[in-house]
Amino acid sequence: MSLRSNLRALLTMGRGVVQGLSDLHAADDPIVYFQQWFADAKRSGLFLPEAVCLATATADGEPSARMMLFKGVDQRGFEFFTNYESRKGDELAANPRAALVFHWAILERQVRVEGSIERITVPESEAYFRNRPRGSRIGAWASKQSMRLPERAELEARVREYEAKFPGEDVPLPPFWGGFRLKPERIEFWQGRLNRLHDRLRYTRAGERWNLERLYP
């Protein structure tokens, strides 16, 4: 982090610790507020501010979690991309509900998002896939994500196979790969405060509106 980024991070953290979240109201849009927090995290120079923990569960409730890269949010929800045949893909197909946790430690901020899951459209997945580096697109074809790999040489051989199959920049979207959208039903903003008396404000969707409540830390 540069000196300017360090100063931005300290100022953002200081405002949050001192002022808390008293500026949130039931009429506010939590998606817009999240976008502001995410912009703060990026301006602060944090490494991979888009890193997020995704929690899923099997149809009978066995949980699992992993770190992902969040790729965007709008009023429809939070987007991420993966192999649909991976463990998380299988779990989301069987139990289309999930949770996300963003944690920006240096800012003393955390956001929790819970809701239902849907696949985004193929054209949306194609648009994102085209913007990935060629190596990442080849990797998406080569990796049988979450399946047993006897030795790394097998993965490297599959990479060479698909490099030969798609020699130019035109690497198409694999049929087993694409995006998910988490449609939020609850969004909680956590702001660290002095003496561990943190601020927690939770928005819960009620039709087209959001209800707001403050939680004990």
Using alpha carbons only, give the angle 122, 128, 132 rounded to the nearest 5 degrees: 135
DSSP state of 174: P
Residues 6 or more apart whose CB falls under 8 angstroms from that of 179 comprise 71, 79, 80, 81, 119, 120, 124, 125, 128
**177: β partners:** 83
E-strand ranges in 91-139 read: 97-104, 109-119
Any catalytic annotation for residue 137?
A: no
Using alpha carbons only, give the angle 86, 150, 136 rounded to the nearest 5 degrees: 50
DSSP state of 173: P
Got the DSSP string for 8-65? HHHHHHHHHHHHTTTT--TTS-HHHHHHHHHHHHHHTT-S-TTEEEEEEE-TT--EEE
Residues 6 or more apart whose CB falls under 8 angstroms from that of 116 comprise 96, 97, 182, 183, 185
Active-site position among 196, 200, 202, 205: 196
> Which is nearest to 9 in space by CA: 113, 122, 149, 105?
105
State the catalytic residues. Answer: 196
